[in-house]
C-alpha cells in the first residue's frame, strides 16, 4: 500500500530539499542535507549542511528550535547519521532534544549508516516515517548514491553543438558555438563538480583554462587524459597551474617517465585497448576524493564514456546555427539498428538565451 502524505507534510519536506540544495557544490564528499523542526504546525527551527566538517543540518535545526524542539517533529531528506565522523552522531542530538517523530525521505546508502540511524531512533521510542518525496531526495543526492552503491564517481557529460550536431568546424574552430547564458551554465557545472575532465587533444586544440569564471564557486580539479604523458608545458593548464589543481592521468605506470612530473600531479592508470582505462581512471579519482566528474570532451573522450556505459547524466546545449561538415560530439558506437541506440529517461528541456539545453540520464548508465 502506497503511503499518502498531507499537503503540509509535503510542504515541510519541500522546504527541507530547498535548504539542502543550498549546499550544492560545497559539501563534497558529504551529501546535501536540510532539516526543519516543526511544532504546532509551524517551523520552529531549520538548517542545512554547509560543508564537510561543519555541523549537520539536524543539529543546526535543533539548536535554532531550542526548547521548542521537545515534542516536535523533524523533517530531513536523508537518514540521520549514527556514527562518529568529523562530528557527533545526529541521532543522539535528535533523541536528546525530545523529538517525537522523524520524517526521512530516504535511507542513507552509506554502509556506516544504512538503516542504523533509523533503528537507533526507533529504539528510543521515536516514530519514524521513510519515503516522503523520496525520488526528489535521491536525485538531489544522486552523486552520493552513485558513489556509495557503485564505488565510482558520478559522471556528467557536457557539450555544445550546432543544429546539425557539430561541436566544431572541420578546422576544429568551436569558439563559441553556444551563447553567453549556456557558457555561464557550463561554468556553474564546473563549480558544482569535484573535477572536470578532457583529453589531451582538446588541450592542444582549445588550450582551455577549465576554471570557474562566469559564476561564483570553487575551481574543480582539472583532469587530462594523456596516454603517453605528452601534455605540452606551454598549455594554460600547466602555465597557470598556481593552485596545483591540474592532474595528468597517464598510461605510464612510472610517473617519473612523465615529462611534466613536478609541474602537475600525475595519476598513473593502466591502458585498455591502447588507451586510458576509463573505469580505472574513475576508480583512481574516487580514491583521491573525487565524487563527481564533468567530462567536457573532446569527441573521442565523450564517445568512449558513452560506449563504456560510464556516463550517468548528459547536458547538451544546442545552438541555432548550422555548420555542415565538421566534428560530431559522439562517434561510432556500433549502432546498426535504432533498438541499439542510447536512449534517455527523465529528460528535461530549458531555454538558455538563444540556445536549447537538454538534460537526461542514459538508460544504459550503470548508475
CATH number of the domain where residue 216 is located: 3.40.430.10
313 shares a domain with 291: yes
Position 262 pLDDT exceeds 80 = no
Average the pLDDT over 265-274 and give the result: 89
Q: pLDDT band at residue 261, thresholds of 50, 70 and 90?
A: low
350 shares a domain with 229: yes
1 within domain boundaries: no
Least confident residue range of 55-64, 93-102, 266-275: 266-275
Grid coordinates given for 186: 557550463
CA dist 77 and 35 (Å) reads 7
Q: Per-residue pLDDT tens for 307-349?
A: 999 999 999 999 999 999 999 999 999 998 988 899 999 999 9
260 shares a domain with 184: yes
Q: Per-residue pLDDT tens for 44-87?
A: 999 999 998 899 999 999 999 999 999 999 999 999 988 656 66
286 shares a domain with 202: yes
Q: pLDDT band at residue 366, thresholds of 50, 70 and 90?
A: very low
Give the chain's mean pLDDT: 91
CA dist 105 and 35 (Å) reads 11
- Contact partners, residue 9, CB within 8 Å, separation at least 6: 75, 103, 132
Least confident residue range of 98-102, 353-357, 362-366: 362-366
Quote the pTM value. Answer: 0.91
Average the pLDDT over 257-265 and give the result: 62
Q: pLDDT band at residue 259, thresholds of 50, 70 and 90?
A: low
Position 227 pLDDT exceeds 90 = no
Of the candidates 46, 55, 58, 79, the residue annotated as catalytic is 58
174 shares a domain with 140: no
Provide the residue range defining the domain that includes 22: 7-146
Q: Which of 219, 245, 249 has its CA nearest to residue 231?
A: 249
Q: pLDDT band at residue 365, thresholds of 50, 70 and 90?
A: very low
Least confident residue range of 178-182, 207-211, 253-257: 253-257
From 146, 166, 186, give the residue that closes a domain.
146
Q: How far is residue 284 CA from its own chain's centroid?
A: 17
The per-residue pLDDT for 242 is 84
From 101, 116, 146, give the residue that closes a domain.
146
Grid coordinates given for 215: 559564476
Position 286 pLDDT exceeds 50 = yes
Parallel/antiparallel/unpaired status of strands 292-297 and 265-268: unpaired
CA dist 101 and 121 (Å) reads 9
9 assigned to active site:
no
Q: pLDDT band at residue 213, thresholds of 50, 70 and 90?
A: very high
Q: Per-residue pLDDT tens for 214-224?
A: 999 999 999 99
Q: pLDDT band at residue 195, thresholds of 50, 70 and 90?
A: very high
CA dist 203 and 76 (Å) reads 43
Least confident residue range of 62-71, 102-111, 168-177, 246-255: 246-255
Degrees (nearest 5) of the Cα angle 110, 111, 116? 95
Average the pLDDT over 28-51 and give the result: 97
304 shares a domain with 256: yes
Average the pLDDT over 281-309 and give the result: 95
190 shares a domain with 83: no
183 shares a domain with 35: no
Three-class SS string for the chain? CCCCCCHHHHHHHHHHHHHHHCCCCCCCCCCCCEEEEEECCEEEEEEECCCCCCCCHHHHHHHHHHHHHCCCEEEEEECCCCCCCCCCCHHHHHHHCCCCEEEEEECCCCCCCCCHHHHHHHHCCCEEEECCCHHHHHHHCHHHHHHHHHCCCEEEEEEEECCCCEEEECCCCCCCCCCHHHHHHHHHHHHCCCEEEEEHHHHHHHCCCCCCCCCCCCCCEEEEEECCCCCCCCCHHHHCCCCCCEEEEECCCCHHHCCCECCEEEEECCEECCEECHHHHHHHHHHCCCCEEEEEECHHHHHHHHHCCCCCEEEEEECCCCCCCEEECCCCCCCCCHHHCCCEEEEEEEEECCEEEEEEEECCCCC
Amino acid at each position: 500500500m502506497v503511503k499518502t502524505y498531507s499537503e503540509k507534510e509535503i510542504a515541510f519536506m519541500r522546504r527541507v530539499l530547498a535548504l539542502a540544495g543550498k549546499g550544492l557544490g560545497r559539501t563534497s564528499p558529504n551529501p546535501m542535507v536540510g532539516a526543519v523542526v516543526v511544532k504546532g504546525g509551524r517551523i520552529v527551527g531549520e538548517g542545512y549542511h554547509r560543508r564537510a566538517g561543519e555541523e549537520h543540518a539536524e543539529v543546526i535545526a535543533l539548536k535554532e528550535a531550542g526548547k521548542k524542539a521537545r515534542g516536535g517533529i523533524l523533517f530531513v531528506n536523508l537518514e540521520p547519521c549514527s556514527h562518529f565522523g568529523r562530528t557527533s552522531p545526529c541521532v543522539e542530538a535528535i533523541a536528546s532534544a525530545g523529538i517525537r517523530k522523524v520524517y526521512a525521505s530516504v535511507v542513507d546508502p552509506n554502509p556506516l549508516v544504512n538503516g542504523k540511524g533509523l533503528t537507533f531512533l526507533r529504539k528510543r521510542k521515536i516514530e519514524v516515517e521513510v519515503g516522503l518525496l523520496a525520488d526528489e531526495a535521491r536525485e538531489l543526492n544522486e552523486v552520493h548514491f552513485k558513489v556509495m552503491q557503485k564505488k565510482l564517481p558520478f559522471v556528467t557529460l557536457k557539450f555544445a553543438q550546432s543544429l546539425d550536431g557539430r561541436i566544431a568546424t572541420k578546422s576544429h574552430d568551436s569558439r563559441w558555438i553556444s551563447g553567453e547564458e549556456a557558457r555561464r551554465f557550463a561554468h556553474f557545472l564546473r563549480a558544482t563538480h569535484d573535477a572536470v575532465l578532457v583529453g589531451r587533444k582538446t588541450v592542444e586544440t582549445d588550450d582551455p583554462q577549465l576554471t570557474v569564471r562566469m559564476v561564483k564557486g570553487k575551481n574543480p580539479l582539472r583532469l587530462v587524459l594523456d596516454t603517453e604523458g605528452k601534455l605540452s608545458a606551454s598549455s594554460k593548464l600547466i602555465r597557470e597551474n598556481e593552485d596545483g589543481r591540474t592532474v595528468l592521468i597517464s598510461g605510464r605506470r612510472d610517473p617519473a617517465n612523465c615529462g611534466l612530473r613536478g609541474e602537475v600531479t600525475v595519476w598513473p592508470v593502466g591502458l585498455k585497448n591502447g588507451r586510458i582505462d576509463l573505469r580505472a581512471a574513475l576508480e583512481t579519482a574516487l580514491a583521491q576524493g573525487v565524487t563527481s566528474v564533468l567530462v567536457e570532451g573532446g569527441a573521442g573522450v565523450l564517445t568512449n564514456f558513452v560506449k563504456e556505459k560510464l556516463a550517468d547524466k548528459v547536458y547538451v546545449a544546442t545552438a541555432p546555427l548550422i555548420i555542415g561538415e565538421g566534428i560530431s560530439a559522439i562517434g561510432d558506437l556500433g549502432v546498426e539498428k535504432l533498438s541499439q541506440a542510447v536512449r534517455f529517461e527523465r529528460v528535461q528541456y530549458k531555454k538558455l538565451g538563444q540556445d536549447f539545453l537538454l538534460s537526461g540520464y542514459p538508460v544504459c548508465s550503470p548508475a
